[in-house]
């Protein structure tokens, strides 16, 4: 799903840096103009970092891990958007940690599956502050038919 979502962002004129643990899975996006970069480099440069991972433990490692975590590399004022179907408690923990770095965080699981992602017809349920959600809602609208702000962190 993440590849289709990224493609919709590119079609709207956004320049993307992408990463996948299996690099060849990003080849189509790179051929279309995306730049393949390691996660910490993306975190240092991007205004908005999107995650679409398999499981909550993957999110925890990618974001909060003392060695590999990207949160400590993100610039103040940037936003982390986690599209992984995860746990409310983890979303709250990430939000608290993000705040300590001056980073916005939203948890934003999607509904609609692969077909919805390919067709730009996902429904995105977002948890986070109004300011954080408002800053990334136009980006999520590139692949969503509805972006619904549910409440604070963990409510997505």
Q: Is 68 a domain residue?
A: yes
* Strands in 5-143 per DSSP E: 17-18, 35-36, 48-51, 79-82, 104-107, 110-111, 122-127
Q: Is 156 a domain residue?
A: no
pLDDT of the residue at 153: 87
In angstroms, the CA 18 to CA 30 distance is: 8
Q: What is the pLDDT along the chain (156 residues), one digit of tens a residue?
A: 799 999 999 999 999 999 999 999 999 999 999 999 999 999 999 999 999 999 999 999 999 999 889 999 999 999 999 999 989 999 999 999 999 999 999 999 999 999 999 999 999 999 999 999 999 999 999 999 999 999 898 787
Q: Is 6 a domain residue?
A: yes
What residues have CB less than 8 Å from 68, skipping those under 6 apart? 39, 40, 61, 62
| pTM (predicted TM-score) | 0.94
Q: Is 114 a domain residue?
A: yes
Q: Is 75 a domain residue?
A: yes
Q: Is 10 a domain residue?
A: yes
Residue 132: give its domain's CATH number. Answer: 3.40.50.720
In angstroms, the CA 156 to CA 151 distance is: 7
pLDDT of the residue at 151: 87
Q: Is 121 a domain residue?
A: yes
Q: Is 116 a domain residue?
A: yes
Q: Name the domain count of the chain.
A: 1
- Residue 50's nearest CA partner among 117, 145, 121 is 117
Q: Domain span at residue 22?
A: 2-151
**Token digits of residue 156:** 């997505």
pLDDT of the residue at 154: 76
In angstroms, the CA 81 to CA 98 distance is: 11
């Amino acid at each position: 799903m993440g590849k289709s979502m990224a493609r919709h962002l590119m079609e709207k004129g956004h320049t993307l840096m992408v990463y996948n643990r299996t690099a060849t899975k990003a080849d189509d996006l790179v051929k279309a103009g995306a730049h393949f970069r390691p996660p910490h480099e993306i975190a240092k440069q991007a205004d908005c970092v999107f995650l679409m991972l398999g499981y909550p433990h993957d999110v925890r490692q990618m974001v909060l891990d003392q060695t590999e975590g990207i949160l400590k590399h993100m610039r103040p004022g940037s936003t982390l958007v986690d599209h992984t179907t995860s746990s409310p408690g983890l979303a709250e923990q990430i939000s608290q940690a993000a705040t300590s770095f001056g980073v916005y965080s939203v948890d934003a699981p999607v509904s609609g599956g692969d077909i919805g992602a390919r067709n730009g017809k996902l429904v995105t349920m977002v948890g986070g502050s109004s300011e954080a959600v408002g800053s990334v809602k136009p980006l999520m609208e590139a692949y969503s038919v509805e972006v619904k702000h549910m409440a604070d962190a963990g409510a997505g």
